[in-house]
Amino acid sequence: MTVAWRPAWSTRLRGVLTGPLLIAIVTGMVGFLLVSQIRGTQPFRQKLQAEDEGDLTRILASLSTEADSLRDEVSSLKLQLLTLQTSNQRDTSAAAAADDQLKALEVLSGTVAVTGPGITLTIDDPSGAVAYDTMIDIVQELRDAGAEAIGVNDVRVGVTSNFAERDGKITLDDTTLSAPFRVNAIGQGATLEGGLKIPGGAIDTLTALRDVHPTVLRTAKLVIPALAKPPAFRVARPVGSSP
């Protein structure tokens, strides 16, 4: 077996390098780096020390002006942010108002089902004495009293609805209505009932007919369906739709 020979001084030198001497070398390198960094700031300090009082005043004034400019820019940005936030709030309010208006128009046009308090006018007519023009008067009086939605025998009355007579029967939008008639109206119950009971109004007209017995009942919750045939537009189109 062959053993490599190493000088004794090499072993001793290795022990010295891995001991206190190595620590001293590292410490010296760190110190050198710190001194180099400190010396890097010395030219700037020396430059300031070389300036006279007037130059230092101008430098300070320049720095103050720059600081004021930055403060003005910050204030401007804050104002822009506030304006954007206010504009966003206005846009949100406008969108909410437009949505409310859309819902109100949908109710008025009859394109959506609605629910709410109101009255139910029940008309017993075993002899068929009620004519279609009487139903038109009833609907008109309810609208004048503030009815938001009206339905007759579960058939919605829309802005383009029409009453007619066919084979001795009353029709609403081509749907035949049979007695007893139930006229549902959503709105302020007391106001709607008062509108029907005004002297010479709908109730007086119905009571004067033979064998006709009208009754009015206030209801906390009514459900009136949407129109069976929503209106079709041949010219008008929603914004953004293709021609």
Number of structural domains, the chain?
Answer: 2
**Is it the case that residue 164 has pLDDT exceeding 90?**
yes
pTM: predicted TM-score of the whole model, two decimal places: 0.59
In this structure, is residue 138 part of a structural domain? yes
Instruction: Please state whether 57 falls in left (phi above 0), alpha (psi between -120 and 50) or beta.
Output: alpha
Query: Does the structure show a pLDDT above 70 at 241?
Result: no
My answer on whether 116 and 33 are in the same domain is no
Task: Give residue 122's domain range.
Answer: 110-224
Q: Domain for residue 135, yes or no?
A: yes
Question: Which CATH number characterizes residue 177's domain?
Answer: 3.30.70.1880
Structural domain includes residue 95:
no
Residue 123 lies in a domain: yes
Give per-residue burial for 23-34: e unless 16+ CB within 10 Å, then b.
eeeeeeeeeeee
Q: Please state, in angstroms and rounded to a whole number, the distance separating the CA atoms of residues 37 and 202.
A: 100
Same domain, 38 and 114: no
Higher pLDDT, 89 or 213: 213
Pairing of strands 175-177, 114-124: unpaired
Q: Is 126 in the same domain as 206?
A: yes
How many residues does this entry show for the chain?
Answer: 243
Q: Token match 């369906």: residue?
A: 225
Q: Cβ contacts of residue 227 below 8 Å, gap of 6+?
A: 109, 110, 111, 156, 158, 161, 173
Whether 214 contacts 127, CB under 8 Å: no
* Residue with the larger pLDDT of the pair 110 and 193: 193
Together in a domain, 139 and 37? no
Task: Please write the tens of the pLDDT for every residue from 53-80.
Answer: 666 666 666 667 777 777 777 788 888 8
pLDDT at res. 15: 47
Nearest to 152 by CA among 191, 123, 194, 126: 123
Report yes or no on 193 lying in a domain: yes
Q: Give me the chain's average pLDDT, please.
A: 78
The enclosing H or E element of 25 equals helix 20-50
Does residue 205 lie in a domain region? yes
User: How far is 157 from 108, CA to CA, in rounded Å?
Assistant: 10
- Residue that wins the pLDDT comparison between 235 and 211: 211
Q: Is residue 33 part of a domain?
A: yes
Whether the predicted pLDDT of 25 surpasses 90: no
User: Is there a single domain that holds both residue 37 and residue 128?
Assistant: no
- For position 105, what pLDDT does the model report? 76
